[in-house]
Amino acid sequence: MRVLVVGSGGREHALAWKINASPRVSEVLVCPGNPGMRNVARIVPGEISPRDLLDLARQEGIDFTVVGPESPLVEGIVDVFKKDGRRIFGASRATARLEGSKAYAKGFMVRHGIPTAKHEIFSDPIAANIYIDSIDAPIVVKDSGLASGKGVTIAKTNVEAQLAVKSLFEKGPRTIVIEEFLEGQEVSLHLLSDGTSYRILTVAQDYKQAYDNDLGPMTGGMGAVAPVDLLSGGKLQEVEQSIVRPTLEACRVDGMPFRGVMFIGLMIGAKGVKVLEYNVRFGDPETQVLCPLLKSDLLPLLEASADGDLAEIDLEWSSEFAACVVMAAPGYPGKYKTMIPIKIPKDLSEEALIFHAGTDEILGSPVSAGGRVINVVFRAPSLEEAVIGAYASVKRIQFPGAHYRTDIGGRLRGV
C-alpha cells in the first residue's frame, strides 16, 4: 500500500514515521516534506494545493492520503479527492471552517450550547477598541482566520489589547474575536471520528508561548507532553457529555458529519471545562508525543475514520510518557536566522526520537530553514524521566543559538 502524507513539519515527520511502521505499507511519500524525513519516506517536493496534490496522487498511484496541515483542508482537498474517487483522511471543506474561521466556530458553539469563553466578533477596529474600553483585562484578541498558531494575543492591559487590534488590522481587512481570558490548565484533546463513531486519543498538553513561564508571544508550539491526567476522575466523561458528543452531533445537524481528526483545545478552570478552539487536524507538536505512545497501527485507524468503520477499531496505548522539546531558530517567533548548520549525534538513546520541521540540507548535512526546526522527543516510564531525557538529548544537539523553552512539562511537575 502506498500512502501520501501532506506537509513538511514535525507533525508530518511523526505521522510518516508511524505510518511507515505499518506492515501494510510498501512506501510512504511526503509532499513537500523535508530532508530529515528520508529515513521513513520518499520526499516529493511540490505545491500542496488540492489540485496539485490530486495530480501527484494520480501520477504516483497513491492508495491513501493523510493530510497534515490545516490550509489544504480549508481549501477543500478532501472534497476534491473524494470527487475523484480517492481515499483520503481529513476534514471536509465544510467542517474545516471550524478551524478556518474562529468567528464561525464561536457562532457554532453558541448555536449548539457548547461551553466557551464570552466573546464578541468585530470587523471594524474602532468598534473593537470601544468594546475593549468597556471590559477589564486580561483580554484575548484573536485573528479569526488561519494564523499557524500565532494569531492570538493575551493582553494584560486594555492598551495592549488595542495595540493587538491595530497590529491585526494593519495587515488588511479582517474579522477578529475578542474574548474573556480563562484561567486554568489547557489541554489538547484529539479524537478520531468517522461521522458516527469516535475514538478519543490520549490527552496531551502543549506549550504555546515563546518563553518560559508562559511568557512572550504565541507560537506554533514550543513543546508538548503526554499523557496528562487533568481529565481523570470522571472529567473526561463529563467532557464527552458536554463537549465531544454535542460537537459531533451539531456537525451532523448542520449537514456536515465530521470525518477525520478533531483537536479540541480545552481550558480546565474554576468555571469548568470550556472550548478554546477547534482544530480539524493533528496538533503540532502534540502529534510528536502521541505517535510514539500509540501501540496500535495508526494506518487502520485513519482508514476506518475515512471509510466509516471506526466502531470496529480499538486503540492500545503504551504505559510510558513522552516529552517533546522544540528547538527553534534564533529570533523565533520574530525574524529568525536560517542556514545554521545542525549536528545530531548518531548515538542518542534509543528512547529519543528526532522529528525534523524547518530543516534543509547542504551537501547532505542538515541546516535550519524555518522557525521551528527540530523536535526532540523522549519516552520514559515517568513524566519526570521523559522530560529529563528530552533535555539531555537537546543538549547534545549542536545547533548554535537555538531557542527552546526550559520548562516543558513544568505545569504538571510543579516547577
Residue 192: name the closest of 326, 333, 290 by CA: 290
Q: Which three-class secondary structure string do you get for 12-33? A: HHHHHHHHHCCCCCCEEEEEEC
Burial class of residue 213, CB neighbours in 10 A (0-12, 13-18, 19+): exposed
Residue 133 has pLDDT above 70, yes or no: yes
Flag whether pLDDT at 322 surpasses 60. Answer: yes
**Spatial contact of 11 and 284, defined as CB atoms under 8 Å apart:** yes
Per-residue pLDDT, averaged over 382-397, amounts to 98
Q: What is the pLDDT of residue 59?
A: 98
pLDDT at position 233 is 85
Q: Give tens-digit pLDDT for 78-118.
A: 999 999 999 999 999 999 999 999 999 999 999 999 999 99
pLDDT for the residue 271:
81
Q: Which residue, chain included where needed, has cell 506537509?
A: 7
Contact in structure between 37 and 357 (CB atoms under 8 Å): no
The pLDDT of residue 413 is 59
- Statement: residue 147 has pLDDT above 90: no
Say how far apart CA 331 and CA 396 lie, in whole Å. Answer: 21
For residue 372, what pLDDT band results from cuts at 50, 70 and 90? Answer: very high
pLDDT score at 171 = 92
Rounded Cα gap, residues 326 and 11, in angstroms: 12
195-223 confidence digits (pLDDT tens): 999 999 999 999 999 999 999 999 999 99
Cell reading at 15: 505521522
Percentages (nearest 5) of helix, strand, coil residues in the chain: 35, 30, 35
- With beta carbons less than 8 A apart as the criterion, state whether 45 and 53 touch: no
Q: What average pLDDT does the chain have?
A: 96
Using the 8-state DSSP alphabet, how is residue 409 labeled? T
Confidence of residue 148 (pLDDT cuts 50, 70, 90): confident
What pLDDT, on the 0 to 100 scale, is given for residue 414? 52
Give residue-wise pLDDT tens across range 224-271. Answer: 999 999 998 899 999 999 999 999 999 999 999 999 999 999 999 988
DSSP one-letter code for 317: B
Q: Do 76 and 93 meet the contact criterion of CB atoms below 8 Å apart?
A: yes
Round to whole Å and give the CA distance between 368 and 338. 5
Please report how many Cα atoms fall inside a 13 Å half-sphere around the Cα of residue 213, on the Cβ side.
1
Domains of the chain: 2-90 (3.40.50.20), 119-180 (3.30.1490.20), 183-312 (3.30.470.20), 321-413 (3.90.600.10)
- The pLDDT tens digits of the residues spanning 258-308 come to 999 999 999 999 889 999 999 999 999 999 999 999 999 999 999 999 999
**pTM strictly above 0.85:** yes
Q: Are 321 and 381 in contact (CB under 8 A)?
A: yes
For every residue of 112-128, DSSP letters joined together read: TT--B--EEEES-HHHH
> pLDDT grade, residue 412 (50/70/90)?
confident
Q: Residue 150: pLDDT above 80?
A: no
Q: Per-residue pLDDT for 415 more than 60?
A: no
pLDDT at 298: 98
Q: What is the pLDDT of residue 348?
A: 94
* Strand, coil or helix: 184: coil
Q: Which residue has the cell 513561564?
A: 213
- Percent with pLDDT over 70 in the chain: 99
